[in-house]
Structure 1
């Protein structure tokens, strides 16, 4: 038996092969080709989309975009490696018509079209929406750190700079004392020229650090990064590194990335509403339900989400079973049109009136209108603590003259029936002879309240039952913990990050600056979405949709 033999290297063919014959009908390259051809690059914001009438011809931006999408699709991000692939890769022969652009031309295209590349990512999201791939029922929001083009040694803050300046002053003093010692002892370890050169070098370094410190103080920043000024030194799983904090919103049904944001915030706190609002606009929906981990625990941010048509399922960090908010009651007549509306102003009006908007029905959000009702009291215990009306323990916080002030933030934050209309926690003052402080409760408590002893008059220095500044009504907003949805979060968010970082090799960035980092990650997330869409519906159906 003989081996199967290939074509001889020196054999000529009379009729050259067609490049398209080497690319199968189900090859993902055809999706990249059809997708880029379907885009209007002028509308997307690309430059040089209209060729000039004179001068040397330039490369078509569509060809360079196809090259980059193909590169990120196949784990090739370097412009030099892409240039090499153009000379030997049969699939790139098909995509580019055997063009071989220089690596500088390839790199400049990504740099010059940073803003437009995010629009390309969103264009593919729109395509997947037209195919019905996004279910839009629940989206998982999470953040991950991507290494920036900046070493830890080129990162400074005020503390580091002050230590370096102090150390330089000490070294200069040592050199000067060394010179004095050598003059007296006539033993020259270092020549005067060497000492002067060392002092001059230290002085130059001191001036440089003083300039850095001045720049920090004048700019109001806490960090100064020399290579990539927009990145920040952040804490990650393997220590402190210079990174960008990248936020993604992943659809539950399809596991496709719907939106992403590149930030230089050290933590995820305060980013939930921003990312959710942007995702709503991209998916063209009026309300959205999101799930996030404990890192997004920000009471103000979560409340802003509720007031703007976003259902936030954030894992509880400080509370136990639900998150409670006290909202000022605003009397208003809520019509069906307003209750069924998804406009932020109508949602806020309904909640302030104690009415649950229709868009929040069957979710973790509840609204209750509470009125002042039954009487109870705070009771001073023998061990120096105070029991509140619903049985929670308050501890001593401070002294005010002869009176002792008691309070507990945790107890008030989790209390479903507060005795105050304040948004902050309750503090109660006990005089030297005070044993009980009466108070009027809000709502209908489900637990047994502390009984008020007979013939106990209100203490004028504490709580009085006829105070006029207490609102007769208040609104309590409840966000209950949905454990099943919170458990789904990790399965949704971690997979895209893990795939992009370690399978695509994009755990570190190649470009500097937030805008260029956004473009680079847009290509990575586009490649992830494209692979997932091909697995879901196939090459032919995607091409037909374009």
Structure 2
């Protein structure tokens, strides 16, 4: 015999909620979004036109989709029609993929960060997060761009210089030709173009316009006509193109033609294993107990210059910086140490030689001036051979953000005949060293903090804080490449990922607590 099977028969209960487990993730997302103030979405809906889908409904649907590795708007729309969890969140409404995509990438562009902060505030109120520690790290995620359509800053500069020199040569030839005919171009402002490096598209446009006026007076001048055609059809458009590319580059060394905001970076996910550069973004996050406290997106491949703008954003969104900042050696620059000190923050940030300094090989290396003696009163360094290095001069340099680094230069009186010279330096003359005394002081402070008992424990803990979060996003949820293009939209994607991660983490923590209580 078979159990009764009738597709035309209606059964109770008809409420979808009855089929959803009590501690299911979808309930956590539903509760968290329901707690949000509806006024948060006012900025996204200026009014007018037909009634819109409720923003909380769309927010729930998209967050849950990101927890389920569903990132395509078409796939989300399909799930709303077919998946019981999505159907419950949407209250059986069926927004199409255009509505979902418009809400995700346009309406929420000025709201998502506020929503993320509001949800984080819920986590703080419920003691999931305490803001005592802030573990910061970065990872690179590939952009939605062609890997082989790139523009390199050095190549642009080189091609632009060649073009400027060609323009200079061309206009010099025109002048010489006119002089041979005893018809000088008195009305032309050509001398301003003699310095190749000063030739801009604006100046070239003015000069070619004057040449065109001259050509109207002498329409049979074939060399002049050919030169005007060359400038107008080839040289001027190319110079404008190079200038536009330099403007797009800014301070970067490369960008992708299909996503100009993306910079070419070395990725850990290198299937060719040849160090291939790919267009991507540097994602910076800060975590505590593997909850994401803040996120930011950067176009720089290195983490060093990302710390200050990232923490400035944290301070702006949270109103304060967390108690202790913990980071790896990629952030250990003088500028970052000075910034954290000015913010009166306790920092556990390694520098690039921190672990090497603890090795026997480093401590016995006489070439390292860190192992020498410094006399503060005399302002001299004494090397392993007892030779004093005297102060010569001080130089100043500025980082890209404007931070000034003062470097002191020292030189030994004479290294001639020193038996330790081969071990000390490969230079032919006397030994010279360059020292930033401020950086030495800041590194000494960092070393003391890192070697303290709780400092060492937090440094060890850092290894499985943000790294685990990146592992969950990239491996568990399969997000290894952005879907959208452009810095603003890609930043939104990181926000959606972070919001989904935090609620997923909360659900897992709640389930673990309940099992422990019942057990």
Which structure has the highest helix share of the two? Answer: 2
- Measured in 1, the distance between the counterparts of 2:111 and 2:256 equals 26
Secondary structure in structure 1 of the residue aligned to 2:483: coil
> Cα distance, 1:205 vs. partner?
9.9
1:236 pairs with 2:267: yes
> Cα distance, 1:289 vs. partner?
1.0
- Measured in 2, the distance between the counterparts of 1:380 and 1:154 equals 52
Which structure has the highest strand share of the two? Answer: 1
> Cα distance, 1:236 vs. partner?
1.8
1:505 pairs with 2:475: no
> Cα distance, 1:537 vs. partner?
2.7
Partner of 2:339: 304
1:88-237 aligned within 5 A: 88-112=82-106, 113-160=108-155, 211-218=240-247, 220-221=250-251, 222-237=253-268
Partner of 1:387: 387
- Measured in 2, the distance between the counterparts of 1:92 and 1:247 equals 30
Partner of 1:75: 69
Partner of 2:295: 260
- Measured in 1, the distance between the counterparts of 2:69 and 2:237 equals 40
Aligned match for 2:407, one of 421, 424, 448: 424
Aligned match for 1:246, one of 275, 283, 302: 283
Aligned match for 2:56, one of 53, 62, 65: 62
> Cα distance, 1:60 vs. partner?
1.7
1:537 pairs with 2:510: yes
Partner of 2:209: none
Partner of 1:294: 329
> Cα distance, 1:274 vs. partner?
3.2
Q: 1:303 to 1:45 in 2, by over 3 A?
A: farther
TM-score for both structures, normalised by structure 2: 0.64
1:479 pairs with 2:446: yes
1:29-68 aligned within 5 A: 29-44=26-41, 46-48=43-45, 52=48, 55-68=49-62
Q: 1:268 to 1:6 in 2, by over 3 A?
A: farther
Deviations 1:121-180 (A, max 9, x none): 21111110000111333221100011112112222124445899999xxxxxxxxxxxxx
Secondary structure in structure 2 of the residue aligned to 1:115: coil
Q: 1:246 to 1:81 in 2, by over 3 A?
A: same
Partner of 2:351: 316
CA contact (8 A) 2:140 2:301 kept: no
Q: 1:290 to 1:158 in 2, by over 3 A?
A: closer
> Cα distance, 1:61 vs. partner?
1.7
Aligned match for 1:24, one of 21, 26, 40: 21
- Measured in 2, the distance between the counterparts of 1:285 and 1:303 equals 18
Q: 1:74 to 1:208 in 2, by over 3 A?
A: farther
Partner of 2:6: 8
Secondary structure in structure 2 of the residue aligned to 1:266: coil
Deviations 1:33-69 (A, max 9, x none): 2222222243356422x764xx533222222112111
CA contact (8 A) 1:276 1:290 kept: no
Secondary structure in structure 2 of the residue aligned to 1:512: coil
> Cα distance, 1:245 vs. partner?
0.5
- Measured in 1, the distance between the counterparts of 2:311 and 2:457 equals 20
CA contact (8 A) 2:144 2:259 kept: yes
CA contact (8 A) 1:258 1:282 kept: no
> Cα distance, 1:226 vs. partner?
2.4
> Cα distance, 1:115 vs. partner?
2.5
- Measured in 2, the distance between the counterparts of 1:491 and 1:38 equals 31
- Measured in 1, the distance between the counterparts of 2:152 and 2:242 equals 8
Q: 1:41 to 1:235 in 2, by over 3 A?
A: farther
- Measured in 2, the distance between the counterparts of 1:539 and 1:44 equals 33
Q: How many residues align?
A: 384
Secondary structure in structure 1 of the residue aligned to 2:119: helix
- Measured in 2, the distance between the counterparts of 1:78 and 1:284 equals 34
Secondary structure in structure 1 of the residue aligned to 2:82: coil
> Cα distance, 1:206 vs. partner?
9.1
Q: 1:26 to 1:287 in 2, by over 3 A?
A: closer
> Cα distance, 1:27 vs. partner?
2.1
CA contact (8 A) 2:255 2:279 kept: no
1:517-528 aligned within 5 A: 517-528=490-501
Q: 1:376 to 1:51 in 2, by over 3 A?
A: closer
Unmatched runs of 5 consecutive residues or more in structure 1:
168-202, 323-369, 389-393, 395-403, 410-421, 436-473, 542-546
Unmatched runs of 5 consecutive residues or more in structure 2:
163-231, 271-275, 359-373, 396-404, 419-440, 515-519
Partner of 1:279: 314
Partner of 1:391: none
CA contact (8 A) 1:73 1:527 kept: yes
Task: Give the CA RMSD over aligned residues.
Answer: 4.1
